[in-house]
């Protein structure tokens, strides 16, 4: 079985992140670098992970005018990052696909932030439901040539149907049955996420706040085996 765990390095310094990566050893080979760690340690730390032959999921959710997105994606593609998130709006996705060119970078669209509800969409002037907007954006993402979608495990089955078998589906919001949920309200277990069609699961605190991160990662792999 391919290891589907992506660990979210939601920590405040390169030192702390490095310590986690060291402790996890060969139990994990893909790491998500989000805004916090990126703001603290930047591409220098991303490059350090890549130099250690680890894969990086850069979760910066790009959203800007097309030219700016395209040029930024060119830089990310050159760095050797494996996955990059962009917002699922048409012009942004088109520009990102141009920037990726023929590189190995895989682009993931964020459809609708899971913190948004119908009222938030109404405030933005959208007159449709969250589910309708997710469906529209998944279709547009696939038409634009985006490689995959970041979604909740609870919507993974629907997204899989819309996106087709080749799309890469990555789901955060995953917790084993024994683990604390933290501030996540709508969670699924790793097994449920994969059964619903996810290719990879993003796990943060269940692993990173565990007294023994490596055992926790191995325990999840065991649950999945
Ligand atoms: O600690 P936990 O497993 O909840 O971490 C989840 C990670 O996934 C965090 O980096 C968070 O930003 C990200 N994420 C999420 N829910 C989403 C999208 C991303 O929790 N809908």
| 203 pocket-lining for ligand 1 (C-beta < 6 Å) | yes
Closest by CA position to 66, among listed 107, 108, 94, 100: 94
CB atoms within 10 A of CB 70: 20
Identify the bridge partners of residue 174 per DSSP, sorted by sequence position. 188
Is residue 197 in contact with ligand 1, taking CB distance under 6 Å? no
Dist CA 22 CA 151 (whole Å): 29
The residue whose CA is least distant from atom 14 of ligand 1 is 172
Taking only the tens of pLDDT, the chain with its 225 residues reads 789 999 999 999 999 999 999 999 999 999 999 999 999 999 999 999 999 999 999 999 999 999 999 999 999 999 999 999 999 999 999 999 999 999 999 999 998 887 888 899 899 999 998 889 999 999 999 999 999 999 999 999 999 999 999 999 999 999 999 887 777 777 899 999 999 999 999 999 999 999 999 999 999 999 999
**What is the spatial distance between Cα 224 and Cα 192, in angstroms, rounded to a whole number?**
10
Q: What is the pTM of this model?
A: 0.95
Q: Please name the helix (run of DSSP H) or strand (run of DSSP E) that holds residue 63, with its range, or none.
A: none
* Residue-level pLDDT at 101: 97
Q: Is the distance from the beta carbon of residue 202 to the nearest atom of ligand 1 less than 6 Å?
A: yes
What phi, psi does 147 have (nearest 5°)? -85, -25
Longest dimension (CA), the chain: 48
* CA dihedral sign of residues 189, 141, 9, 6: positive
User: If you measure from the C-alpha of residue 204 to the centroid of ligand 1, how many angstroms do you get, rounded to a whole number?
Assistant: 7
- The pLDDT, as a whole number, for residue 180 is 77
* The pLDDT of residue 8: 98
Q: What is the set of domains in the chain, with CATH numbers? A: 5-224 (3.20.20.70)
Q: Are strands 83-87 and 106-110 parallel, antiparallel or unpaired?
A: parallel
Give how far Cα 198 sits from Cα of 28, 53, 167, 187, Å: 17, 24, 10, 14
Residue with tokens 């109404």: 122
The whole-number pLDDT of residue 179 equals 86
pLDDT at 181 (0 to 100): 77
Probe target for ligand 1 pocket from 130, 202, 208, 209, with the most ligand atoms within 8 Å of CB: 202
Whether residue 4 contacts residue 201, with contact meaning beta carbons closer than 8 Å, is answered with yes
Is the distance from the beta carbon of residue 216 to the nearest atom of ligand 1 less than 6 Å? no
- Which residues lie across from 45 on neighbouring strands? none
């Amino acid at each position: 079985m391919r290891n589907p765990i992506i660990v979210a390095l939601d920590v405040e310094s390169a030192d702390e992140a490095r310590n986690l990566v060291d402790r996890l050893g060969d139990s994990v080979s893909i790491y998500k670098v989000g805004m916090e760690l990126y703001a603290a340690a930047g591409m220098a730390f991303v490059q350090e992970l890549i130099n250690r032959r680890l894969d990086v999921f850069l979760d910066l959710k790009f959203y800007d005018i097309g030219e700016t997105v395209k040029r930024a994606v060119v830089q990310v593609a050159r760095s050797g990052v494996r996955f990059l998130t962009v917002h699922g709006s048409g012009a942004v996705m088109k520009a990102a696909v141009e920037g990726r060119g023929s590189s190995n970078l895989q682009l993931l669209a964020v459809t609708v932030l899971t913190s948004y509800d119908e009222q938030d969409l109404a405030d933005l002037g959208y007159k449709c439901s969250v589910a309708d907007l997710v469906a529209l954006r998944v279709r547009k993402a696939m038409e634009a040539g985006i490689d995959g979608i970041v979604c909740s495990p609870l919507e993974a089955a629907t997204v899989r149907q819309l996106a087709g078998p080749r799309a890469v589906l990555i789901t955060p919001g995953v917790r084993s049955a024994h683990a604390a949920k933290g501030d996540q309200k709508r969670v699924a277990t790793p097994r449920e996420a994969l059964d619903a069609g996810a290719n990879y699961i993003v796990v943060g605190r269940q692993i990173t706040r565990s007294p023994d991160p490596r055992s926790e990662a191995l325990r999840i792999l065991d649950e999945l085996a």
